[in-house]
Amino acid sequence: MSINRLEVALLQLYKLAVFIRGESGGHDMQKMAILEQCSRAFSDCQAASQAGFDQVNSIYTQAVSLHAEELQQLQREIERASEQTKMDWENGQRQLEQYQQDVERYSRQMEDASNALSQAHANVPDVGNDIGRAFMFLPPVQAAMEVNQQRIEEARNRLNGAQYQLQNAHNSRIQFMNQQNELNIRRAAIDQLAQQLPVLQATADALSKQSTALLAGFAELREKATQLALLMDEMRNGARDTGAQSWDKDRFAEGILRLCQMALIDGRVCDEVETMTNEISSGYSGQAPSSVAGLLDEVGQLARNVAQKSISG
């Protein structure tokens, strides 16, 4: 997190506050080494804030895209799938009703064919009784028996055909019943997804609002981190170009306090800033110069305000 990097940078800055506690003089190399460490720490803070901003900006872009495009596309796809499934189910129901009618029709045909076969078999002895045993081999009698046998074969064929058609109708009906069950499961899944869509919409709205707020926060943090890094580099370069000894304690104290003032953007850094101001204030045996004292008052008041705001939310 960028705030954590800012806390680390302020801890590095505290080393400089401790170093200038006494009267400045000598130790230029040590002083410049601390300034370099502070500069790197604030540069790291700037880089972290930029990375955080880029990451949140990516989330924000995705949230806006999800809200504006993908959710609408999902809703259209759900509506199309629901309509298509409904149409398939209704067509299936009509086909299922047709197969049910076929089953009933072929059942009646099979029953009629079975009755006809039974009747044809029952007519065999009647033919024999009508003509008498003595005349059963006469051509007319044989013709009558052949006709009756033909009726038996026809009735058997009709029965077999009706059984075959009935079995096919049964199989088709079962197949369509399975398809209808699958469509019912699909319809239930689509309906459930449609019910979840408002929840997803609300989540996307909340994510969009949160990412907007986060983006604004990171934009401010990035701007502050950039200003802090520039101010720190200005202090380091000024001390390096003119010689660290030419920068007295007051000048370093003013620079540190300005950095603290700019860094007070979050309640989590208030402790580090307070420690720093106490260190600078106690570094003067008497009254601090007016420029330093004024900054101490301003930074102290700002730190209290930021801390109070952080507590109250």
pLDDT tens-place string over residues 58-96: 888 877 776 667 778 888 888 898 899 888 888 888 888
Give the model's confidence band at 159: pLDDT under 50 very low, under 70 low, under 90 confident, else very high: confident
pLDDT in tens, 20-36: 886 555 567 888 899 99
- Mean pLDDT in the chain? 82
Give the model's confidence band at 97: pLDDT under 50 very low, under 70 low, under 90 confident, else very high: confident
CA 272, CA 14: separation in Å to the nearest integer?
8
Q: Is the pLDDT of residue 127 over 60?
A: no
Highest mean pLDDT among 60-64, 170-174, 248-252: 248-252
b/e per residue, 221-243, with b = 16+ CB within 10 A? bbebbeebbebbeebbebbeeee
- Amino acid at site 229: A
Q: Is the pLDDT of residue 290 over 90?
A: yes
pTM of the model as a whole: 0.60
Q: Is the pLDDT of residue 137 over 60?
A: no
CA 94, CA 106: separation in Å to the nearest integer?
18
Span of 84-93, 115-124, 143-152, 216-225 with lowest mean pLDDT: 143-152
Give the model's confidence band at 224: pLDDT under 50 very low, under 70 low, under 90 confident, else very high: very high
Domains of the chain, start order: 25-247 (1.10.287.950)
CA 93, CA 304: separation in Å to the nearest integer?
74
CA 308, CA 297: separation in Å to the nearest integer?
17
pLDDT (0 to 100) of residue 199: 84
Q: What would the two tokens of residue 206 be?
A: 């909340």
pLDDT (0 to 100) of residue 243: 60
146, 93 contact by CB (below 8 A): no
